[in-house]
Amino acid sequence: MRKMVVCLLLLCLSTPAMAADNLKEMFANGTFKGEIQLLQFTRHFDRTTTDRQDRALGGSFYYRTDSFKGINLGVAFASTNNLDSDDDKGTYGLLAAGHDSVTRLQEYYVQFHYFDTTVKVGAQEVYTPFLFPHPFRMMPRSFRGVSAVNQSFDNLKLMAFYLKSAVDWDDETFGDISKAINPQIDSEDVYIIGASYNVPVEGMKVNVQGWGFSMTDVFNQTYFSAAASKKMDNNMVLHGGAKFFTQNSQGDERNGDLDTYQYGVNAGLAAFGFDLTAFYSKTGDDGIVDRWGYNKAIIQQVWHTGILADEDAYAAKLSYDFADVGAKGLSAYVFHTEYDTHDSNLNDKAETDLSVQYAFSGDYKGLGLRARYAMINTKGGGEDFTDTRFYITYKF
């Protein structure tokens, strides 16, 4: 896998197209974007566990220069600031431990573009099925290393990553990726390769992906997915997909023996503003190690498939876009999942999510409001809890 990563990184050896004519224009013509957020997350337990709550103001802000001789520079910072969070409640994850505020460098990189290949070196937000920013908290996760994306072929994107360290939602500084999985593991780097192909099928949207992940002496992973949608003559849209995921320990197995998998399928129908989707997934004999990953078969506000070993999960999600009744920007959904395990040492779970959000337009474009509420039932005598999240966001 390391050789494949190196080969993709070496695709950057041809003459670049020029944008800015000089260094002054490179910086003067740069772009700035960001998101300001006011968030409150609360988790209330029905027994003895201490409730959690964070109330914070902050966001992420990004600057990237224009391209000069195929080179861009980028820098970003993120900040989360305590707004009188209740000290009697535990920290939720919007803030650091003890409800402490955090400001940090989120990204800092040099980017090269040659021969339809973009190579980025430094701290960056990475989107893969294994490592993912998870941009639903105050500060997205970020990773440090090298990435390469090649788009020389129509509809095909080839990707490679060599990553050494990361920051989580509430970290101030970067730390080893492997230590986030297990503090006892010495520093181990991550190698990822991936391919995404939009299949040219007339009248349909079809995407297939394949990925591989390796952390030496810890574990490796594979991921395959397919998704398709088709618009019918009556404006109904049929959609569906499938995912298959494996995890296996390797080398010295410094996170213990691991040999598991997950597969999942979904199918749905969208019409008249409604979208109804059904899901099923199966997880193997071990639960999935998921310190940084994201793309599981079912993902809810709190739980996702793969937490429980030997698990079957069944879900249904119904969403509605109120634009069909004249309320453009307003949408909502309800999402219920049953997580059933055959492992007698684990409790079955169920989660029901309710969400409503509104995206402003016109003079207030970029402003968004959202409220989310989750009810979690832990069966077999376990503790139940609720999870409430409020968002006020402004993207520019």
pLDDT tens readout for residues 153-170: 999 999 999 999 999 999
For 348, the 3-state DSSP assignment is coil
- The amino acid that residue 167 corresponds to is V
| Strand ranges (E), the chain | 31-45, 52-64, 71-82, 102-114, 117-124, 142-150, 156-167, 175-176, 190-199, 204-215, 219-231, 237-249, 259-271, 274-283, 311-321, 330-341, 349-359, 367-378, 385-395
Q: Residue 8's pLDDT band (boundaries 50, 70, 90)?
A: very low
38-47, 53-62, 68-77, 343-352: least confident range: 343-352
Cα–Cα distance for residue pair 307/374, rounded to 1 Å: 17
Residues near 318 by beta carbon (within 8 Å), at least 6 away in sequence:
274, 275, 276, 277, 333, 334, 335
Domains of the chain: 1-37+60-202 (2.40.160.10), 217-396 (2.40.160.10)
Closest CA to 254 of 176, 309, 311, 192: 176
With beta carbons less than 8 A apart as the criterion, state whether 223 and 192 touch: no
Q: Which long-range contacts (CB under 8 A, 24 or more apart) does 231-239 make?
A: 231/203, 234/271, 235/271, 236/269, 236/270, 236/271, 237/269, 237/270, 237/271, 238/267, 238/268, 238/269, 239/267, 239/268, 239/269, 239/270, 239/277
With beta carbons less than 8 A apart as the criterion, state whether 218 and 226 touch: no
Cα–Cα distance for residue pair 101/58, rounded to 1 Å: 9
5-19, 162-176, 294-308: least confident range: 5-19
Report whether pLDDT(13) > 70.
no
Residue 14 pLDDT:
37
Report whether pLDDT(366) > 90.
yes
Counting residues of the chain whose pLDDT is more than 90, the rounded percentage is 85
Report whether pLDDT(49) > 70.
yes
Report whether pLDDT(386) > 70.
yes
